[in-house]
Chains A and B, each alone.
Chain A
Amino acid sequence: MTDQDTPSTAPSSSGGRSTLVYVAAAVVVLLVGAAAGMLITLAAVGGGDDNPGPDSIDVGFSQDMRVHHLQAITLAGMARDRSEDTEVRQLAFDIESTQLDQSGQLSGWLTVWGQPTLSPPDQPHMRWMAGAHTHSDTTGVDLMPGMATSEELMKLRALKGTEFTVYFLQLMLRHHEGGLEMASYAADHARLGYVRNLAQKIASGQQAEVTLLTSMIKARGAQPLPN
């Protein structure tokens, strides 16, 4: 009896069980695969761990502030080399060396986060900052707040003596005012504490220097550049 029962029922019951096993295994493979795929994606685009992603405020601020700093370093470097005014040379050296170190910190973070240390060529500046205003130079190039145009840099290079010193102070003041705006926003909105901290330090440092630069311009009988 059992001999006959077993043969007649075994094929269909074991067939049903193996189907179930196949389906279950496939579902598991699918779930594991999907999960792994999503993890790989998230990790690689920088959203899966503690690293900020390409569209984050942290990355946008770091890339843009680095470029903003690089121009301040250029401006200050010129004044440190060429100004005949000791007080201006000292301030220029301070700005140049501080911002050079900070720009290195920013590029170091970006490298660790797996992001480009300069914003990619097809990406406009200031995407990360709500309400940001970029300005365009005569050729339509989009510039971050406070950035000098190529023409203004050429003009500064050509000037000498007090004219050079005053124009440097004017460009540096406007540059700081723009940087201050960017740093204040990042100090409030960046996700990572160390990013907010540096942004805060940049904002308060440049705020103090804005006051100083304004007084230095006036002490030399000039006015800040018109907006």
Chain B
Amino acid sequence: MASGTKKKGPQGGKGGGKNAVKAARSTVVTKKGPPWALIAGITAIVLLAGGVFTYAFLQVSDAQKFIASEDNKDPSESIQGVVKVQYASGQHVQSTQRVAYDQSPPFGGPHDGVWADCTGIVYPSAVRTENMVHALEHGSVWIAYNPDKVQGAALDKLKSKVEGTAYMLMSPYPGLDRPISLQSWGHQLKLDSADDERIDQFIKSLRTNNYQNPEPGGRCDSNQTGFDPATPPPFVAEKPGADAVGMDGKAPGASTAPSAPAASTPAAPTTSAAQPSQ
């Protein structure tokens, strides 16, 4: 009993201590409530830090958004409405041949061995498409417009983006299904207004973009190449005939295009995928 009492004593003491703790805790909790000041402080700090990060991110993305780099090889991916198609480069046709393009206006595929001059030239009339596509291969941006729909101030605004500007060219494109169409190799953006901010974004993103264009450093001038910017070969409105070169670069007969005649002898191919491009 004595030991029991002894044991009980301290236990009673401890019990009293526990009660005291509980009492103290409950008193503290009751007195202080949730630590609102702490929660508010941490929330404010988190929001502030978030703000700093957001600001930094926006600054970065704003400056870098449309600049091609190793981390941002195709900045046009953040432009709404850009159509992308992968094309093989370096397939050439003769000046007498036509290509049955898969797009209108085309933005890649076989093309004339001679490129349209893209040293910031505004062509007053429509130019042979096969030459324009070669200019795209060298990194230029082609602004095509429907001459029935884009006139006056809108036309002047487009011209100002091209006239005298390196790696830019512009021409009317009869029958274009939208007022304006921008082409870069493998990329197209069709628009309704010359005021659309995406025009500059497209140019920034893709003109001489060494990741997207097949021939970095390709020239735009046309000295002695057979293309005279004063009298360029004209646009042909009629659809290409059965003898046109297919998108695979093969002349009919060698082509698998359904429109190709079942010729027993393949038409003499004048292009070769292996032919070095210029």
When the two chains form their complex, are residues A19 and B35 in contact, meaning their CB atoms are under 8 A apart? yes
Alpha-carbon separation in the docked complex, A139 to B159 (Å) = 9
* Neighbour of A7 across the interface among B24, B121, B166, B199, CB < 8 A: B24
A19-B35, A19-B38, A120-B204 are known contacts. Are A115 and B67 too (CB-CB below 8 A)? yes
Interface stretch (choices A31-39, A177-185, A218-226): A31-39
A78-B223, A120-B204 are known contacts. Are A8 and B67 too (CB-CB below 8 A)? no
Q: Which residues of chain A come closer than 8 Å to B21, judged between CB atoms? A: 7
CB 8 Å contact bits of B209-253 with A (1 = contact, 0 = none): 010000001011101100011100000000000000000000000
When the two chains form their complex, are residues A154 and B203 in contact, meaning their CB atoms are under 8 A apart? no
When the two chains form their complex, are residues A137 and B228 in contact, meaning their CB atoms are under 8 A apart? no
B269 within 8 A of A: no
A132 within 8 A of B: no
* CB-nearest residue of chain A to B20: A7
Q: Which residues of chain A come closer than 8 Å to B25, judged between CB atoms? A: 11
Interface stretch (choices A21-29, A192-200, A209-217): A21-29
Q: Which residues of chain A come closer than 8 Å to B57, judged between CB atoms? A: 37, 40
Alpha-carbon separation in the docked complex, A44 to B163 (Å) = 31
A73 within 8 A of B: yes
When the two chains form their complex, are residues A30 and B49 in contact, meaning their CB atoms are under 8 A apart? yes
CB 8 Å contact bits of A139-167 with B (1 = contact, 0 = none): 11101000101100110011000000000
* Neighbour of B52 across the interface among A33, A81, A104, CB < 8 A: A33
Q: Which residues of chain B come closer than 8 Å to A150, judged between CB atoms? A: 120-122, 163-164
When the two chains form their complex, are residues A121 and B52 in contact, meaning their CB atoms are under 8 A apart? no
Q: Which residues of chain B come closer than 8 Å to A37, judged between CB atoms? A: 52-53, 55-57
Interface stretch (choices B58-66, B99-107, B254-262): B58-66
When the two chains form their complex, are residues A44 and B64 in contact, meaning their CB atoms are under 8 A apart? yes
When the two chains form their complex, are residues A149 and B228 in contact, meaning their CB atoms are under 8 A apart? no
When the two chains form their complex, are residues B42 and A30 in contact, meaning their CB atoms are under 8 A apart? no
B: interface residue count bin: 35 or more
Q: Which residues of chain A come closer than 8 Å to B55, judged between CB atoms? A: 37, 41
* CB-nearest residue of chain A to B67: A116
Alpha-carbon separation in the docked complex, A78 to B225 (Å) = 11
Alpha-carbon separation in the docked complex, A115 to B72 (Å) = 12
Alpha-carbon separation in the docked complex, A75 to B45 (Å) = 61
When the two chains form their complex, are residues B17 and A44 in contact, meaning their CB atoms are under 8 A apart? no
Q: Please indicate which of the listed interface residues B25, B56, B228 has the most CB atoms of chain A within 10 Å of its own CB.
A: B56
When the two chains form their complex, are residues A3 and B13 in contact, meaning their CB atoms are under 8 A apart? yes
Q: Which residues of chain A come closer than 8 Å to B156, judged between CB atoms? A: 139
* CB-nearest residue of chain B to A31: B49
Least Cβ–Cβ distance between A158 and chain B, in angstroms: 7
When the two chains form their complex, are residues A157 and B229 in contact, meaning their CB atoms are under 8 A apart? yes
When the two chains form their complex, are residues B46 and A141 in contact, meaning their CB atoms are under 8 A apart? no
A22-B38, A26-B41, A70-B220 are known contacts. Are A143 and B63 too (CB-CB below 8 A)? no
Alpha-carbon separation in the docked complex, A141 to B122 (Å) = 12
A129 within 8 A of B: no
Least Cβ–Cβ distance between A77 and chain B, in angstroms: 4
B14 within 8 A of A: yes
When the two chains form their complex, are residues A3 and B160 in contact, meaning their CB atoms are under 8 A apart? no
When the two chains form their complex, are residues A82 and B164 in contact, meaning their CB atoms are under 8 A apart? no
A12 within 8 A of B: yes
Alpha-carbon separation in the docked complex, A29 to B42 (Å) = 11
* CB-nearest residue of chain B to A117: B208
When the two chains form their complex, are residues A45 and B53 in contact, meaning their CB atoms are under 8 A apart? no
Least Cβ–Cβ distance between A41 and chain B, in angstroms: 4
Least Cβ–Cβ distance between A8 and chain B, in angstroms: 5
When the two chains form their complex, are residues B204 and A149 in contact, meaning their CB atoms are under 8 A apart? no
Alpha-carbon separation in the docked complex, A89 to B141 (Å) = 32
A91 within 8 A of B: no
When the two chains form their complex, are residues B204 and A116 in contact, meaning their CB atoms are under 8 A apart? yes
When the two chains form their complex, are residues A157 and B164 in contact, meaning their CB atoms are under 8 A apart? no
When the two chains form their complex, are residues B52 and A77 in contact, meaning their CB atoms are under 8 A apart? no
A3-B14, A34-B52, A73-B221 are known contacts. Are A40 and B67 too (CB-CB below 8 A)? no
When the two chains form their complex, are residues B166 and A12 in contact, meaning their CB atoms are under 8 A apart? no
Least Cβ–Cβ distance between B204 and chain A, in angstroms: 5
Query: 22 interchain pairs (CB within 8 A)?
Result: A19-B38, A23-B41, A30-B52, A34-B52, A37-B52, A37-B56, A41-B55, A73-B221, A74-B221, A77-B221, A78-B223, A80-B223, A117-B208, A117-B210, A121-B165, A121-B199, A121-B200, A122-B200, A139-B159, A139-B163, A150-B120, A157-B228
The 3 closest A-B pairs by CB, nearest first: A37-B56, A7-B21, A74-B221
Starting from the known contacts A26-B45, A116-B204, 10 additional A-B residue pairs (CB-CB under 8 Å) come to: A3-B17, A29-B49, A45-B60, A81-B223, A82-B223, A118-B207, A137-B164, A150-B121, A150-B122, A154-B230
